[in-house]
């Protein structure tokens, strides 16, 4: 990972990460050979990383200077464990805008109505390039493809978002992507200094994104957006329950590729209820109102729809790919929910091994920093899991020697963004460390899954590490799950 922290120190780092999770001290002295070969003292710290790294972990190494003062030698962002590109971006934006002294704002762009529905993948890719080039060229902090013809731009509060939107629209028309600038809808969200709960902020952003995809733009403060989402939630919860019972769900899928077999290994499946013709992001509603049994009903309904879709795909195309659905982490430890899920799987005609569960934390949306219990009890679940908490595996699984008992080739996936892998491999001996971990886990039927593999450069990173599974735009974007041409 660094010259001073060679691969032999991985257990030391693992123990320090575990200390962090349990609230214990994360600073300790270690001795490594200095330039002269004599033991040299270093201080190792593991701590939460900065605001933009949601639940990230930093390993900080400092050396004792001659004046008996610690001076920084190296700081390395170990892992951020973000939920894919769009989820990571929106979680980070919600955190940044929620701070009472935030200097950031968020602009979202979307193709309205038929322009969004009819846009080809090539047109969306071109528009993404226009958004990136224009926004970043004007000084934006970052951008993300929010899928479905929507794009997010994080920027400073004094950023001229109106000029940026106009420039994007003009170039999109000139490129033939849009017939008229009015087909591009925008929403700007500014912090209002209220210090809002990030979960409520994210729900407010999701609500605005739903509106954007329906062709409605806004300019408002974060508190207003959260208030709108809260007001909708009170009305939408009962409607969601009715939609679930009636089977009114709109789904989308994204492929996860097996790179070494050159085929789709898993289809990630999402579905949201349709209320009065409007797609409602269920998590936005659940952020404000305790859903009680509605959450379990909703996630079982999504699993049932996913398994039905998977069975149809297999009969029509001969595919052997699994299907993956999100599930709240607390539900996985609920015996009643597990029994109901087993019944759903049995009714589908598929097996437990055909359904991959991707746990998330209901409060934050991200599992990063919260997956330790899942890793510790990995062998107790009937279904394969996809766990987006790389650091928990480093901290806990490094001490395990058992192989998960399953007939499947893969008992669990560890999800990590390709950007985190790139940052690791950019450090001395970082690639060797990651490859060593991958080989260790592979012997236990645990595989790394790289998210955000969007271009050839990303693919080179994962290929160089012998990562076998990946998802991202290079592999395939989110789609409605229909066979091509239908």
Torsion angle in degrees (nearest 10) through CA of 110, 113, 116, 117: 150
pLDDT at 291: 79
As given in the structure block, the two tokens for residue 481 are 């799950």
Q: Residue ranges of the alpha helices (H) in 8-48?
A: 10-21
For residue 176, what is the DSSP state?
T
Whether 441 contacts 447, CB under 8 Å = yes
Instruction: Tell me which long-range contacts 428-432 makes (C-beta under 8 A, separation of at least 24).
Output: 428/1, 428/2, 428/3, 429/1, 429/2, 429/3, 429/6, 429/7, 430/1, 430/2, 431/464, 431/465, 432/7
* pLDDT confidence of residue 85: 56
Alpha helices in 247-371 (DSSP H): 282-286, 293-317, 329-332, 335-348
Low-confidence ranges of the chain (pLDDT < 50): 1-42, 46-84, 403, 484-486
pLDDT value of residue 32: 44
pLDDT at 307: 97
Which residue from 363, 372, 342 is spatially nearest to 354, judged by alpha carbons? 342
Report pLDDT for 408: 66
């Amino acid at each position: 990972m660094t010259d001073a922290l060679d691969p032999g120190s991985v257990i030391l780092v693992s123990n320090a990460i575990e200390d962090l999770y349990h609230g214990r001290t994360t600073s300790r002295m270690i001795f490594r050979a200095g330039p002269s070969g004599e033991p040299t003292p270093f201080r190792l710290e593991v701590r939460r990383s900065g605001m933009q790294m949601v639940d990230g972990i930093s390993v900080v190494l400092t050396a004792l200077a001659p004046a008996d003062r610690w001076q920084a030698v190296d700081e390395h962002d170990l892992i951020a464990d973000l939920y894919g590109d769009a989820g990571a971006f929106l979680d980070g934006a919600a955190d940044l805008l929620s701070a009472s002294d935030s200097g950031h704002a968020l602009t979202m762009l979307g193709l309205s109505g038929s322009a969004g529905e009819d846009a080809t993948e090539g047109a969306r890719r071109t528009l993404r390039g226009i958004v990136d080039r224009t926004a970043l060229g004007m000084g934006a902090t970052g951008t993300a493809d929010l899928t479905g013809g929507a794009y997010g731009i994080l920027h400073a509060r004094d950023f001229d978002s109106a000029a940026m939107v106009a420039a994007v629209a003009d170039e999109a028309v000139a490129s033939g992507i849009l017939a008229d600038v009015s087909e591009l809808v925008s929403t700007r969200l500014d912090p209002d200094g209220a210090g809002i709960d990030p979960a409520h902020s994210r729900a407010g952003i999701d609500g605005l994104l739903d509106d954007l995809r329906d062709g409605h733009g806004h300019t408002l403060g974060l508190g207003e957006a959260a208030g709108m989402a809260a007001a909708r939630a009170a009305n939408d919860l009962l409607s969601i329950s009715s939609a679930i019972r009636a089977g009114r769900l709109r789904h989308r899928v994204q492929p996860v590729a097996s790179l070494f077999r050159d085929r789709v290994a898993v289809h990630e499946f999402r579905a949201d209820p349709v209320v009065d013709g409007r797609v409602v992001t269920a998590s936005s509603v659940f952020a404000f109102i305790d859903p009680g049994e509605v959450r379990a009903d909703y996630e079982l309904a999504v699993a049932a729809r996913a398994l039905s879709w998977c069975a149809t795909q297999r009969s029509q195309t001969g595919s052997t790919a699994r299907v993956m659905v999100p599930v709240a982490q607390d539900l996985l430890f609920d015996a009643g929910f597990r029994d109901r899920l087993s019944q759903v799987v049995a009714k589908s005609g598929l097996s437990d091994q055909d359904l991959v569960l991707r746990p998330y934390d209901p409060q934050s949306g991200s599992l990063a920093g919260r997956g330790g219990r899942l890793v510790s009890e990995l062998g107790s679940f009937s279904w394969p899991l996809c766990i987006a908490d790389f650091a928990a595996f480093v901290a806990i699984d490094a001490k395990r020697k058992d192989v998960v008992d399953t007939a499947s080739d893969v008992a669990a996936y560890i999800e990590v963004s390709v950007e985190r892998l790139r940052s690791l491999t950019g450090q001395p001996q970082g690639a060797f460390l990651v490859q060593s971990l991958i080989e260790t886990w592979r012997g236990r039927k645990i595989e790394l899954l790289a998210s955000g593999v969007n271009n050839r450069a990303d693919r080179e990173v994962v290929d160089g590490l012998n990562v076998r599974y990946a998802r991202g735009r290079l592999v395939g974007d989110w789609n409605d799950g229909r066979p091509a041409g239908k």
